[in-house]
Structure 1
Amino acid sequence: MNESIEHVSVMPDEIVAWVGEAHPRTIVDGTYGGGGHTRLLLDVLPKATTGDDPAPLIIGMDRDPAVLARDDVPGGPGSDPRIELFLGSYEKSPAALAHCERSHADALVLDLGLSSDQLVDRERGFSFTMEDAELDLRFDPESDIPAYEWLAYRGEREIADTIYQFGEERYSRRIARSICLRAQDRNPVRTVGDLVEICRRCVPRSKNHDIHPATRTFQALRIAVNDELNILQRTLASAADWISPGGRIAAISFHSLEDRIVKNAFREDERWKVLTKKPLRPTDQEIRENPRSRSAKLRVAERLGSEDTPG
């Protein structure tokens, strides 16, 4: 990474409270990122091991190699014996548990937003302000293809459908047409600035100017390039297989597509008891102190035991 700023975790008090009520010994932080939730959750782990119980542990998962390069070093958070860091999607949590000689976790925490470090990394293209950066948008720059290549290999209709479906952008067809016209002129979209300029021309500025005209398009391409929604769906569909009875999932989402997946996964699987009938939102004070938290929604569910499951 080119520079680093302090990452501020979203809804930290709520995460600690809802996860702590499960009295967990093993926690999976599936979106380790800046490590903020992991550091706070250390306080809810038991202080000692008793009998045959496994040692208290937090497993931190992240797709970004830069995270491990930063924290999994002598003297870093990864050197704490209560923390094990793994490179990979939270979908691989069962493999990480097995590596730690555990079959189940007592809690899974998902914070589905970008970390501050990713936003300031010039090599990723996540921030609109770094217009000369390549349009990459991958969490793991060593896997799959960057967003500018994804655009080069797709037709106008698929690009438009992706921007509309994943970004809920009503001007998706204008944007897709402009992207493809540039490619036809042998001047394809390559940088953040290229795509931002298209979005500025195609998306009328809202009256209150509360959202950048490129926000929804960048969100859509990031989701597509990283296969985010499919990974979330698959993980939630299987999580009850590896979370202990009485264990919990606490998931923070930042847009309606993610929130809908979380809500439906909890409601449609009888092995989960929904603990938050409506999503919890950040406090006004948190939004003032951390404006990035303003769109966050937290949902929590508890894994039922076999005796509690209907049928």
Structure 2
Amino acid sequence: MEFRHTTVLLHEMIDSVLTDPHGIYVDCTLGGGGHSLALSEKLADDGLLIGVDQDQEAIDAASERLKGTACCHLFVRDNFSHISDILSSLSIEKVDGFIFDLGVSSHQLDDGERGFSYMNNGKLDMRMDRRNPLTAYEIVNTYDEEDLSCIIREYGEERWAKRIARFIVDFRKDKPIETTDDLVHVIKAAIPANARRSGPHPAKRTFQAIRIEVNNELGILKDTMEACVNHLKVGGRLGVITFQSLEDRIIKNAFREMERDCICPPDLPVCMCHHHRTVKGLGKARKPSEKEVEENPRARSAVLRVVERV
């Protein structure tokens, strides 16, 4: 299947992060290479773009797509949470910019074999890195009811989490839940009919929650943001696009903490933390235009936040 992905907030991201056409930039969520291609086209011959992704299909697609651009390219198959080790292995200490697009690629969603989508039937998988031993199948069929309920409630913000977890556990007593269609069927049975008539697809929040658990998407974000800032040159920039409120809250709070000079409790009369700000925010969070949302409905929830190293 051809790797397809519609890049969101493309020009807003590149215009915000690119400061030196001769610099070093890291696209930490390479995907199909949309942001990387636009960035590469603005880099000089001596500029360097490093693309990081844990999905080999994404790296193959992006490396092919970027062949015609003039700047230097390096591609690394790894999780962006290992950014310090990745840069160390390349003998690079400081860079000019980092890009993160935290959305699941259209290719992964549309490829039924990857098991991400409640719209396309396939085996329950949801691994962004197929070397990961934990799949959606293991979570759905082995986690106990309380853990399932907690994951669906916390990561999916699903009001029917407890009921969905109970239905999953009851269903798998007879046979395993093996496919995305099986799971959608259980979720629809769990959510009352009147609650299914409005809002998004009834399985959307549960699928999101399980995907986050499979890939530990939220657990790595704060530490990764701090690591990236530590590797930014003064004046270098970090741009992050999120697609759901849990991610955006983590990014917003991480940036806010790094923008503050003191993080002591407000009731302390004297600063004891000796914390100094490392970044400044660049304007308000940006969202897609109405035109972009009309052309690509998946962009609707996207939010771009950018900070600059000080």
Is TM more than 0.5 here?
A: yes
1:206 Cα deviation from its structure 2 partner? 5.2
Rate the CA distance shift 1:144–1:188 in 2: closer, same or farther, 3 A.
same
* Residue type at the aligned position of 1:6: R
Q: Does 1:245 align with 2:252?
A: no
| 3-state DSSP of counterpart to 1:136 | coil
Match in the other structure for 1:92: 82
Match in the other structure for 1:276: 283
* Residue type at the aligned position of 1:295: S
Structure 2 gaps of 5+ residues are 259-276
Rate the CA distance shift 1:78–1:67 in 2: closer, same or farther, 3 A.
farther
Q: How does 1:57-72 map to 2 (within 5 A)?
A: 57-72=48-63
| 3-state DSSP of counterpart to 2:218 | helix
Overall identity of the aligned pairs, in %: 38
Q: How does 1:121-132 map to 2 (within 5 A)?
A: 121-131=111-121
Moved more, 156-165 or 199-208: 199-208
Q: Does 1:26 align with 2:14?
A: no
Partner Cα separation in structure 1 for residue 197 and residue 291 of structure 2:
22
1:44 Cα deviation from its structure 2 partner? 3.2
1:199 Cα deviation from its structure 2 partner? 1.5
Q: Does 1:234 align with 2:241?
A: no
Checking the alignment, whether the CA contact within 8 Å between 1:78 and 1:84 is kept in structure 2 is no
Checking the alignment, whether the CA contact within 8 Å between 1:161 and 1:172 is kept in structure 2 is yes
Match in the other structure for 2:8: 10
TM-score calculated relative to the size of structure 2: 0.88
Give the alignment's Cα RMSD to 1 decimal: 1.9
1:78 Cα deviation from its structure 2 partner? 5.9
* Residue type at the aligned position of 1:190: E
Out of 189, 202, 206, the position equivalent to 2:177 is: 189
1:104 Cα deviation from its structure 2 partner? 1.3
Match in the other structure for 1:82: 72
1:20 Cα deviation from its structure 2 partner? 2.2
Q: Does 1:154 align with 2:160?
A: no
* Residue type at the aligned position of 1:29: D
Q: Does 1:174 align with 2:163?
A: yes
Partner Cα separation in structure 2 for residue 26 and residue 289 of structure 1:
32
Partner Cα separation in structure 1 for residue 211 and residue 283 of structure 2:
28
TM-score calculated relative to the size of structure 1: 0.87
Checking the alignment, whether the CA contact within 8 Å between 1:28 and 1:60 is kept in structure 2 is yes
* Residue type at the aligned position of 1:90: F
Checking the alignment, whether the CA contact within 8 Å between 1:24 and 1:44 is kept in structure 2 is no
Per-residue CA deviation, residues 260-296 of structure 1 (Å, 9 max, x unaligned), is 011011110121111133x211001101111110100
Match in the other structure for 2:305: 299
Rate the CA distance shift 1:30–1:5 in 2: closer, same or farther, 3 A.
closer
Q: Does 1:102 align with 2:117?
A: no
| 3-state DSSP of counterpart to 1:229 | coil
Partner Cα separation in structure 1 for residue 30 and residue 60 of structure 2:
13
Checking the alignment, whether the CA contact within 8 Å between 1:167 and 1:217 is kept in structure 2 is yes
Match in the other structure for 1:115: 105
Partner Cα separation in structure 1 for residue 79 and residue 303 of structure 2:
21
Rate the CA distance shift 1:123–1:96 in 2: closer, same or farther, 3 A.
same
